[in-house]
């Protein structure tokens, strides 16, 4: 499902991002997103400098930004406010400019993500390696039934430029300002869909990095967008449960018990819904 897609090398002023895989247009997405942000929301993301190749692989060279990755602790109010401002500025990039740049829908976008997860959960999984196979099996069964329904998600909207992967490590904090990196999966999306993805990201949720209500307020979602975000959250919780099942990369990359924690979280979300 998910594997490493790039290698990074650094100089004093530059970051060289070499793509290990690029069949989904990762380098093209990154270059287009960074170019749009440099024009319409300067300072939100690194400026793209040039494109190169190394041993046949595409390379995007961008400026090296100040700051350290977040993720080691819950965001402070100042960090949340700055992150919200960065996301708002990104969402304000004119959609006609995004279309003109031929930026596609974000990876795992709202138009096809449910169908993709139906396929993933149709695969057989041996749950014996789980700490609590019965709990995980229950969550998988409930997820399959929920994903099979056609009335659980809002109509897709494609109205803004989104980053897609807001792993907290992709947020740089210099003591005053949050900036965003890693746009290889970015593309056209919906703020509600993006926020659901962000607050459900396993790297942030298990360690409590994001305060959902505070981030929603900082971004400025409308009540309708907040309802849509809540409707999308189980979709992303199911995505991460799939990633954490035995046989998938997330099972071994995360601490033991993560699969059970995700299974319990998904069951709570679907019970509440």
pLDDT at 4 (0 to 100):
67
Give the residue-averaged pLDDT of 229-250.
96
At 97, the pLDDT band (50, 70, 90 cuts) reads very high
The residues spanned by each domain of the chain are 66-110+147-272
* pLDDT above 70 for 1: no
* pLDDT above 90 for 21: no
Instruction: Fold for 66-110+147-272, please state it.
Output: Aminoglycoside 3'-phosphotransferase; Chain: A, domain 2 (3.90.1200)
At 156, the pLDDT band (50, 70, 90 cuts) reads very high
At 53, the pLDDT band (50, 70, 90 cuts) reads very high
Instruction: Kindly state the percentage of the chain with pLDDT values over 90.
Output: 92
pLDDT at 206 (0 to 100):
86
DSSP letter for 129, please.
Answer: G
Strands 171-173 and 68-69: antiparallel
Give the residue-averaged pLDDT of 159-167.
96
- Which residues are 171's β-sheet partners? 180
Residue 131, φ and ψ in degrees, nearest 5: -70, -35
CA distance 178 to 88: 12
pLDDT at 6 (0 to 100):
85
At 3, the pLDDT band (50, 70, 90 cuts) reads low
CA distance 49 to 254: 35
pTM as predicted: 0.95
Give the residue-averaged pLDDT of 34-59.
97
- For the record, the structure tokens of 219 come out as 């971004």
CA distance 38 to 42: 5
- Which residues are 8's β-sheet partners? 17
């Amino acid at each position: 499902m998910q594997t490493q897609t790039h290698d990074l090398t650094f100089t004093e002023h530059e970051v060289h991002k070499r793509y290990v895989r690029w069949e989904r247009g990762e380098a093209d997405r990154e270059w287009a997103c960074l170019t749009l942000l440099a024009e319409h929301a300067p300072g939100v993301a690194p400026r793209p400098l040039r494109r190169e190749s190394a041993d046949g692989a595409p390379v995007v060279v961008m400026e090296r930004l100040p700051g350290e990755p977040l993720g080691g602790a819950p965001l402070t109010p100042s960090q949340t406010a700055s992150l919200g401002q960065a996301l708002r500025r990104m969402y304000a990039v004119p959609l006609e400019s995004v279309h003109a740049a031929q930026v596609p829908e974000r990876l795992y976008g709202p138009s096809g993500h449910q169908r993709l997860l139906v396929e993933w959960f149709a695969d057989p999984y041996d749950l014996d390696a789980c700490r609590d196979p019965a709990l995980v099996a229950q969550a998988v069964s409930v997820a399959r039934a929920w994903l099979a329904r056609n009335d659980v998600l809002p109509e897709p909207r494609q109205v803004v430029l989104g980053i897609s992967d807001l792993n907290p490590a992709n947020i740089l904090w210099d003591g005053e300002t949050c900036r965003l990196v890693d746009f290889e999966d970015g593309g056209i999306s919906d703020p509600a869909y993006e926020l659901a993805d962000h607050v459900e990201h396993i790297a942030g949720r298990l360690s409590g990095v994001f305060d959902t209500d505070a981030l929603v307020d900082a971004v400025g979602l409308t009540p309708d967008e907040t309802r849509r975000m809540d409707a999308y959250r189980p979709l992303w919780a199911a995505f991460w449960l799939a990633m954490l099942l035995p046989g998938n990369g997330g099972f071994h990359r995360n601490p033991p018990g993560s699969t059970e924690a995700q299974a319990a979280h998904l069951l709570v979300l679907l019970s509440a819904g």
